[in-house]
Structure 1
Amino acid sequence: MHLPKINIPKKYIKAGAWVSGVLLLAFIILGSIAYSKREALLQKMMARAIKKADTDYGLDVKIGQAGFSGLSTVYMKNISVVPKDRDTLTTISDITIGVKLFPLLFGNVNIAELKLNTGRLNIVLKDSLTNLDFILKRKKKDNPENKTKTDLSELAHDLLNQVLDKIPEDMEMKNLLFTLNDNDTAKLSLLTTTATIDGGELKSTILVNYNESTWHVNGKIKPSKQQMDVLFFADNKKVELPYLERKIHAKLSFDTIRTELKNADYSGDNFKITGSWSIKNLLINHPKIAANDIIVRNAKIDADLLIGSNFVALDSTTTVFLKDAAIHPYLKYTLSPNKIYEVKLHADEQDAQAMINAFPVGLFESLEGLQVKGKVKYDLNFYLDSSTPDSLKFNSTLTPYDFKIVKLGKTDLQKINSVFVYTPYERGKPMRDITIGPSNPNYTPLSEISSNFKNALLTSEDPSFFTHHGFVEESIRKSFVINFKKKKFVRGGSTISMQLVKNVFLSRNKTLARKAEEILIVWLIENNSLISKQRMLEVYFNIIEMGRNIYGIGEASRQYFGKSPSELNIGEGIFLANIVPNPKIAMFKFQGDGSLKDYMLPYFRYMGRIMARRGLTPADTSGYGFYDVRLREGLRQYLLPDSAKVDTSAFDSDAESTAPPVNMQDESKNLFDRLFGRSKKDKDTTARNLGLQDSLKKSKKDLRRERREKRRLEKEKEKLTN
């Protein structure tokens, strides 16, 4: 095929040549003028930038000398940046920066070359002040109504491009010192002796705390293609972070960390960042996480991060690898119009032993050596819209396929099927050894415990104990709702199975690892029928804390009523079930004559009606045994003659099917401690074997609780009378 020949008149060719020549000449003339004036322009731009830094951020910026060393290369010497009334932030002896000319024509500043010789970045924290405070300052807007809603996808796109554009194609850096002084209690020094980028290849050497160790950040960087592959490691040892150990008592180390950025571009209306992150031989040690070192041999995440106009999400195409096991997470946080939290985890059906082997070393001490066969699949779904917390969704399912335990691990999960010794703890210290067997005169077989107590406790604490498999999703779901509304941890979702495992099989270290171990052991016991429900309940009844240094229904029934557990009436059963959530103040529920305080009556009627509807006790209009409860005479002498009322009978009248948390240890102080217990070594003022009189004394905390309760009841009486 031949294209047709186009004949252009010579006069048009000449005209085009003249126009092109004139434009080229104009460009050369303008370029020459700009080139001759560039020094003056640079000084004006620097003066403007220095003034802006002072006006907007309170920064005193000084530049000793500056000028051009090429067509698009600027050098500066003796630079200092000092925030107002703060320590010096930065000093640089000599820096040279070259930019790419073509992007500059369109207003984009892309760094082509960077050379730095001897600089220092110094961060100082003093109390609540730091020399980085200026970053938090915001320039005042003339008209606040002009503010527009931020599109997160655009913000992420622009921010990433700004960062990548500032990574030079050629870099030579020498003797850049970074120091951090945190209130003179924790210090860190990083001296980059050399850092170079040559043809996209990054190499660096960093001295930590004056030759404590030597770090390297090496790899390939291609900013224009939005790609990088960087490896972080140390010479002949692990990378350690001593600052964290001194600051928050956390030990953290690893062999290598590899970070890959594979692609960053729009996917529809969302900005998508694809990459991976891997780590080898990660070691973590913190008293809130575990009592020992947790070691992750090999972990990797292939991630797809989605950023929309109003949300950030880790897409479900993401995969987390731990050895031979894999799981797909989905995390999404929506900012507007309402904050929405979504979490999904999915693990395909895979070898159960591979899943167990994937657990970090030291995470589940009691299960070390556990051997299983078969397969398992896991799914978790959590959804919370902050505007409608009651509609929260939660379910968690670990599904076994031909699953079987071949060999138990370090801890015998069937030990409670026979006689064993239980040691209760108070504030992390052992109280006394209790034999759970016939040789203990207070030990009571399940068949010899009054049904009045059994039914009352199961109704109040775990109504579905005989039908669930260790967990009650609705109870956990409602705990999330209540805790979210209260903005603090006020309710748990523990079943009797979970409480039993926590107290019998696990160490007393209140950690995240122990909580995770508790959940897994409950699943193993319940789904493999290692212990019958009847035996679990029997052991639970014989170890449960029911007063100061009182453990088990045998001790409690004799202590309070001078009866054996088989003789308890309905009122005594309801009372003993009521004190389980807070057993330490059981004595404060009695009046001087040994009868119960009046405020307990509504609770008795409430619990009694539930039990009656379920056929567990006859219907009663007089208070379901409330008036029949009498503290034995030998204890009444220890009741203080005051009328203060302490209400520990709080109940949720809207949900009969859910159970309040069972607290077999002291109430903790905050969210973390309530989940996993105290970590501080509290002073133990409780004797190993408390005398009766000492065990009935009121603590300051109890007295404060009484005063608060008294004021609350007075207000309620006022409302009723009005």
Structure 2
Amino acid sequence: MQLPKINIPKKYLKVGAWILGIIIVLSAISGTIAYSKREALLKSMVAKAIAKAERDYGLEVKIGEAGFSGLSTVHMTGISVVPKDRDTLTTISDLTIGVKLFPLLLGNVKLSQMMLEEGKIHLVFKDSLSNIDFILKRKKKDSTENKGKVELSEIASNLLNQILYKIPDDMEIKNLLLNVNDNDTAKLSFLTSSATINGGELQSTILVNGNEATWHVNGEVKPARKHFDVMIFADNKKVELPFLNNKLHAKLSFDTVRTVLKSADYSGNDFRMEGSWSVRNLLINHAKISANDIIVPDAKIDANVLIGANYVALDSSSTVFLKKAEIHPFLKYTLSPNKIYEVKLRAPEQDAQEVLNAFPQGLFESLEGLKVSGKVKYDLNFYLDSSQPDSVEFDSGLSPLDFKILKWGKIDLQKINKPFIYTPYEYGKPMRDIMIGPSNPNYTPLSEVSSNFKNAILTSEDPSFFSHKGFVQESIRKSFAVNFKEKRFVRGGSTISMQLVKNVFLSRNKTLARKAEEILIVWLIENNRLVTKNRMLEVYFNIIEMGQNVYGIGEATRHYFGKSPAELNIGEGIFLANIVPRPKIALYKFSGDGGLKGYMYNYFRYIGNIMARRGLTPPDTSGYGFYNVRLREGLRQYLLPDSATIDTNSFDNDEDPLPPVETQDESKTLFDRLFGGKKDTVARPSTNLDTIKTKKEIRQEKREERKREKELEKKRKEGN
């Protein structure tokens, strides 16, 4: 279509030309004036910035000389920054900064170039003080100021832009030293001898602690396109983080780490960032994670991060790769109106051996060399609304498809199907070897164990033992709810299967790796029916700790009551089930006359009523045998007087095969207790434990107790 011709009168064209000319002349005059006054303007701006730093942050900033070296380039020398009453933070000998003019007119400060020579940054931490405390300071805001609520997506977008804007198109850094001094216990230095950005290509050389190591951060940086691809590596060795070793007694090293930002922009109302992160030969070592080095040869995550108005999420389109295995994670954290935590993991059907090979080296030490066939898939769903913790959702399942074990690893998971030697440990030391088989006179077949004890311990420890496949998801779900409400670890979800595997097959190290190994071995045994439920329970009854150097139901019944396991009455069965979580304090539950202390009565009623409702014992209003539990006459001489008190918590130790749950050391962190062993799978009533006198009395009573235990052990051996 041909546009119609527009005729503009010449007089209007002349007027327009005059107006445009005037604007150009005025702009030129303004530019000339501004250019001639720019040094004064710069001086004024520097003075305001120095005053603001001192007023708002308590920083003493000094600049020797400052002036323009180009149209939009500022050159400064003799720069120093010293926080009030703190060590010097920064000194820079020579700094040149250039900004882009057009973005500056729109209110955005984007660097075009940066050149720095001879700079030092000192980070000093002394107890609770540091020379970067000023970062935490905030300006006092007018209480009457009314600002609209800022969305997380907007904050994320602005923050990323501010970071990218400060990356110059051209950069040259020479000799920038970063020193870190943490309470004089961890001293580190990083000297960037050279770092350049030229045409988007980043090259750098960093000397760590003098000449201990030479690092490089190289790659491609294009801030205008919101894209970077950066890799960190070291010359002829791994990149190590010495600060972790000095401060946290942890080792972390790797060959290379690569970080890629592919794109970052709005998708509807959400801010989306797409990128990847990968690592080669990652090594991790910490006493709480594993007793050995854990090595991840090759790992990568392709990540899609979504940030909405009130949430941050890792989208399910993300993929984690471990060698040839893959898993799709979904993580979401909602901040308001209630904090909500969501986790979903989906590993599609894939080769089982490839999945096994993908696990980090050192994570499953006992299974190294295991060969399998078939396929597996995994799904996990977790949802917790902080306003309704009791409604937490949890579901986890590893599903086998034609799965078979072709070759055992370091241990034979079927070894408990025949007689074997069990070695219990206390305080990291082996106690004695116990034959779990007929050649041991204290060994008790399951058929010869009283149903009173069998039903009591299943009721208190693992009611669904014969129906579950190693795990009770409802128990785990309730544990999440209880622990979240208590804000500490007070309840776990271990089953008898897990306790058995932990004690028979694994070390006594309380680590994340051991817990993960325990879970996998339980799954292998239960889902492949390597051991029958009856045999598992029989072995469990014969290895369970039930007193000081007392192991198994056979030793326990003779030790406490002078009878065989088949002769236990309902009260004795409930008592022995009760001491399983804390076997070393069993004798403190008795009064001097050999009867149980009164506080135990409620426990008997609680467990007895549950057993009665399930048809495992007749209803009883007199305490389900509480008054019929009588300690063997020969043991009563070792009881403390009824008036004595003792700190029963002092008998808990990290090496107990079956750790307690009635009390917790609140000084321990969640990580310290998370993988500590057996916890109740059903709720227990509270009990009134013995109280504490003085530390001196406790030490004396403990010495007397150890003496009595030695005498008791000597008599027990003589009796055998």
Same fold (TM over 0.5): yes
Cα offset, 1:8, TM superposition: 2.2
Give the aligned residue type for 1:426: E
Change over 3 Å in CA distance of 1:589–1:645 after alignment to 2: farther
Give the aligned residue type for 1:146: N
2:581–2:659 CA contact under 8 A, matched in 1:
no
Distance 1:642 1:107 in 2: 80
Distance 2:711 2:47 in 1: 76
Other-structure match for 1:693: 709
Cα offset, 1:55, TM superposition: 0.5
Other-structure match for 1:330: 330
Cα offset, 1:2, TM superposition: 4.2
Other-structure match for 1:681: none
Cα offset, 1:663, TM superposition: 6.6
Distance 1:619 1:488 in 2: 37
Other-structure match for 1:344: 344
Distance 1:71 1:620 in 2: 96
Other-structure match for 2:673: 674
Distance 1:613 1:57 in 2: 68
SS of 2:516's equivalent in the other structure is: helix
Other-structure match for 1:534: 534
Moved more, 297-306 or 334-343: 334-343
Q: Which residues of 2 match residues 35-114 of structure 1 at below 5 A?
A: 35-114=35-114
Q: Deviations over 1:611-645 (max 9, x none)?
A: 12222122223222112111010011112222578
Q: Deviations over 1:138-179 (max 9, x none)?
A: 111121663543311111100100010110001111010111
Cα offset, 1:241, TM superposition: 1.2
Other-structure match for 1:630: 630
1:193 matched to 2:187: no
Change over 3 Å in CA distance of 1:278–1:622 after alignment to 2: same
Cα offset, 1:696, TM superposition: 8.3
Moved more, 144-153 or 337-346: 144-153
2:465–2:495 CA contact under 8 A, matched in 1:
yes
SS of 1:384's equivalent in the other structure is: strand
Other-structure match for 1:25: 25
Cα offset, 1:96, TM superposition: 0.5
Change over 3 Å in CA distance of 1:454–1:144 after alignment to 2: farther
1:352–1:372 CA contact under 8 A, matched in 2:
yes
Other-structure match for 1:137: 137
Other-structure match for 1:595: 595
Change over 3 Å in CA distance of 1:395–1:12 after alignment to 2: same
1:566 matched to 2:582: no
1:154 matched to 2:154: yes
1:556 matched to 2:556: yes
Change over 3 Å in CA distance of 1:635–1:551 after alignment to 2: same
Change over 3 Å in CA distance of 1:345–1:696 after alignment to 2: farther
Give the aligned residue type for 2:34: A
2:314–2:331 CA contact under 8 A, matched in 1:
yes
Cα offset, 1:693, TM superposition: 3.4
Other-structure match for 2:488: 488
SS of 2:595's equivalent in the other structure is: coil
1:545–1:665 CA contact under 8 A, matched in 2:
no
Aligned length: 677
Q: Which residues of 2 match residues 243-254 of structure 1 at below 5 A?
A: 243-254=243-254
Other-structure match for 2:693: none
1:546 matched to 2:540: no
Q: Deviations over 1:460-508 (max 9, x none)?
A: 1101000000000011111111111111111111000000001110112
Other-structure match for 2:652: none
TM-score between the two structures when normalised by the length of structure 1? 0.91
1:303–1:319 CA contact under 8 A, matched in 2:
yes
Distance 2:165 2:107 in 1: 12
Give the aligned residue type for 1:219: G
SS of 1:584's equivalent in the other structure is: helix
2:581–2:660 CA contact under 8 A, matched in 1:
no
Q: Which residues of 2 match residues 611-626 of structure 1 at below 5 A?
A: 611-626=611-626
Change over 3 Å in CA distance of 1:205–1:156 after alignment to 2: same
Other-structure match for 1:664: 658
SS of 2:617's equivalent in the other structure is: coil
2:306–2:315 CA contact under 8 A, matched in 1:
yes
SS of 1:546's equivalent in the other structure is: strand
2:274–2:303 CA contact under 8 A, matched in 1:
yes
1:61–1:82 CA contact under 8 A, matched in 2:
yes
Distance 1:481 1:398 in 2: 23
Distance 1:144 1:174 in 2: 48
Other-structure match for 2:683: none
1:548–1:584 CA contact under 8 A, matched in 2:
yes
Other-structure match for 2:262: 262
Distance 2:495 2:642 in 1: 36
SS of 2:379's equivalent in the other structure is: strand
Cα offset, 1:442, TM superposition: 1.1
Distance 1:429 1:380 in 2: 38
Distance 2:376 2:256 in 1: 31
Other-structure match for 2:718: none
Give the aligned residue type for 1:593: D
Moved more, 230-239 or 156-165: 230-239
SS of 2:4's equivalent in the other structure is: coil
Q: Which residues of 2 match residues 287-306 of structure 1 at below 5 A?
A: 287-306=287-306
Other-structure match for 1:116: 116
1:589–1:645 CA contact under 8 A, matched in 2:
no
Distance 2:350 2:712 in 1: 55
Other-structure match for 1:373: 373
Gaps of at least 5 residues in structure 2 are: 649-655, 678-700, 714-720
SS of 1:637's equivalent in the other structure is: helix
Distance 2:72 2:430 in 1: 74
1:234 matched to 2:250: no
Cα offset, 1:13, TM superposition: 1.6
Give the aligned residue type for 2:465: F
- Over the aligned positions, Cα root-mean-square deviation in angstroms equals 2.0
Distance 1:203 1:387 in 2: 50
Cα offset, 1:675, TM superposition: 2.5
Q: Which residues of 2 match residues 275-294 of structure 1 at below 5 A?
A: 275-294=275-294
Percentage identity across paired residues of the two chains: 74
Distance 2:644 2:437 in 1: 40
1:371–1:408 CA contact under 8 A, matched in 2:
yes
Q: Which residues of 2 match residues 433-448 of structure 1 at below 5 A?
A: 433-448=433-448
Distance 2:569 2:480 in 1: 36
SS of 2:546's equivalent in the other structure is: coil
Change over 3 Å in CA distance of 1:692–1:541 after alignment to 2: farther
Gaps of at least 5 residues in structure 1 are: 649-661, 679-684, 698-722
Cα offset, 1:286, TM superposition: 1.0
Change over 3 Å in CA distance of 1:475–1:71 after alignment to 2: same
SS of 2:296's equivalent in the other structure is: strand
Q: Deviations over 1:56-83 (max 9, x none)?
A: 0000000000000111000100000000
Cα offset, 1:119, TM superposition: 0.4
Other-structure match for 1:656: none
Distance 2:263 2:709 in 1: 72
Other-structure match for 2:413: 413
Distance 1:297 1:164 in 2: 32
Cα offset, 1:575, TM superposition: 0.8
Give the aligned residue type for 2:467: T
Distance 2:348 2:711 in 1: 53
Distance 1:439 1:586 in 2: 28
Cα offset, 1:605, TM superposition: 2.1
Distance 2:541 2:594 in 1: 25
Distance 2:450 2:2 in 1: 106
1:581–1:663 CA contact under 8 A, matched in 2:
no
Distance 2:450 2:407 in 1: 38
Distance 1:427 1:396 in 2: 34
